[in-house]
Amino acid sequence: MSKQKKIAKSIQTKNNNKKNKADTTVGSGNEVKNLIIILGIIAAVFLIFYIITKFVLDKENDNVGEEKTAPETIQYEEIVISNLLNQNPDKYYVLVYDDSDDYFPLYQTIIEEYQKNEKPMSIYFADLKNVLSKKYLSDENNVTIDEISNLKLKETAFFEINKGKIIKASLGKDQIIKALGNL
């Protein structure tokens, strides 16, 4: 009987080993299956984010095309006061303005209308409050000058310039409107 017990034990051990191997194989199959499912989910999430991102960026690019703006151009009409007497052509006008002047929009409107003429003379603008022009800001006006460094302004002024010299200076609202009306 001992031989039979040994044989039975041996058979039982072999069966247990087969079960363990079968369990291991089945367990490995489940692990592979779970790994494939996890990788599929990760791939699906990345794909969803890619599609959403692509859709949003394409939509933004379409909107950018709709918001067309004028190309940027170099602006030649705005000058600094130190260049007041150095512009081309020989004869031109300059409005030195203080943007806090209540009548500045009116001056701009009159100038815009004038510039619609067939051959208007050049009109330049100079901001009195510009950092580079502040040295010309004063409590009193001095427009009868030989050199630009002697120019002093306390308010908006309109100048007629010919060959680097001030021909006429208009100060204050009434004089400027009259000068602009005579253009």
> What is the number of residues in the chain?
183
**Domain residues of the chain, as ranges?**
1-69, 78-181
Going residue by residue through the chain, which has 183 residues, state the pLDDT in tens, using 9 for 90 and above.
Answer: 566 666 666 666 666 655 555 455 555 668 888 889 999 999 999 999 999 888 888 776 665 555 555 555 555 588 888 888 888 888 999 999 988 889 999 998 898 888 888 888 889 999 988 888 888 888 888 888 878 888 899 899 999 999 888 899 999 899 999 998 888
In sequence order, the 6+-apart residues with CB closer than 8 A to the CB of 81 are: 96, 126, 128, 130, 132, 133, 136, 148, 151, 153
Q: Which two tokens stand for residue 124?
A: 């330049």
Neighbours of 148 (CB within 10 A): 15
In sequence order, the 6+-apart residues with CB closer than 8 A to the CB of 99 are: 127, 129
CATH assignment, 78-181: 3.40.30.10
In sequence order, the 6+-apart residues with CB closer than 8 A to the CB of 80 are: 126, 130, 132, 133
- Nearest-Å Rg of the Cα atoms of the chain is 43
Beta bridge partners of 120: none
Question: What separation in angstroms does the CA of 133 have from each of 127, 136, 154?
Answer: 7, 6, 12
Q: Is the peptide bond before 89 cis (omega within 30 degrees of 0)?
A: yes
SS3 162: strand
Q: Considering only CA atoms, which of 134, 159, 123, 130 is closest in space to residue 144?
A: 159
pTM: 0.58
